[in-house]
Amino acid sequence: EGVQPQEYTLIKMQVKPPLTGKLAALEGRNVYLAAATLRPETMYGQTNAWVLPEGQYGAYEINDKDVFIVTERAALNLAYQLLSKVPEKPSCLLQVTGQDLIGLPLTSPLTSHPVIYALPMLTILTDKGTGIVTSVPSDAPDDYMALLDLKSKPALRQKFGVKDEWVVPFELIPIINIPEFGDKSAEKTCIDLKIKSQNDKEKLAEAKRLTYLKGFTEGTMLVGEYKGSKVSEVKPVIKKMLIESGQAVVYSE
């Protein structure tokens, strides 16, 4: 835990109705996987969501209609932060594991894919953000390696019940150019550093260090309404647009 609070944007990834399986009890509500991100301007490049298979999550009532699936820890923080909008002890409508969420079809803001799927990531921390992560493999080294692991290892897909069609069609979407790193900075750094898997912690930290700051200071948008603009200039604008349009909320911890 840092001394300064970190402000995240929670992206509302809606579970596409009809709600089936364990989530059938929530039919009639708007149910979202709420993913914490520091890079709202990258949402054009989402290819999937990440959940921790053995993670414990709950479906929490945020208001009359909206239900967020997050860790209990995040639900308590959210309840405290949204005060008037949620009861102080958020009501948990349903408890689920990450494994229960794998394969859920989602609609998420800005991405060019009409539907994306919830998939397993083994390195998710349950004491950070909401325990749900949105995946932008073009620009996030962790996302690139976790998706490559699933694409290249049929046994891994089988272990978690991941169907090929939730993974195979989802190619990287070039969304930001960084002069030194090209249009898919995460892929380039993972290849350059010879990163083997999502568990290659030290090298992934180095890849993130290399791309994160440069993406912000030197990146240019390749897609969307702000195509051609600097990332540093449009990041706050895109964040504000997502929040004002009800597609995201602010979350601090």
Binding residue for ligand A2H (CB under 6 A) from 111, 134, 177, 247?
134
What does 82-117 look like in DSSP terms, one character per residue?
HTTSS-SS--EEEEEEHHHHTT-EEE-SS-S-S-EE
CB of 81 to ligand A2H, least distance (A): 16
Q: How many helices (H) and strands (E) does the chain have?
A: 7, 12
# chain residues binding ligand A2H, by CB under 6 A: 20
Distance of CA 190 to the CA centre of its chain: 19
- Which single residue brings its beta carbon nearest to ligand A2H? 129
Binds ligand A2H by CB under 6 A, chosen from 72, 94, 99, 212: 212
143 binds ligand A2H (CB under 6 A): yes
Question: 171 in the Ramachandran plot: left (φ > 0), alpha (ψ -120 to 50) or beta?
Answer: beta
Q: Which two structure tokens, joined as six digits, stand for 143? A: 């996302």
Give the separation between CA 176 and CA 253, rounded to whole angstroms.
Answer: 28
Closest to ligand A2H by CB, 29 vs 253, is 253
Q: Does 124 bind ligand A2H (CB under 6 A)?
A: yes
Closest approach, Cβ 24 to ligand A2H, in A, equals 27
Nearer to ligand A2H, 136 or 150 (CB): 136
**What are the phi and psi torsion angles at 173 (to 5°)?**
-110, 115
Contacts by residues 242-245 (CB-CB < 8 Å, ≥ 24 positions apart): 242/9, 242/11, 242/40, 242/43, 242/109, 242/110, 243/9, 245/109
Q: Of residues 118, 140, 145, 195, which one binds ligand A2H by CB under 6 A?
A: 140
Supply the minimum distance, in Å, between the C-beta of residue 50 and ligand A2H: 8
Judged by CB under 6 A, the residue of 10, 31, 42, 57 near ligand A2H is 42
Residues in contact with ligand A2H by the rule CB under 6 A: 6, 36-39, 42, 124-125, 128-129, 131, 133-136, 139-140, 143, 208, 212
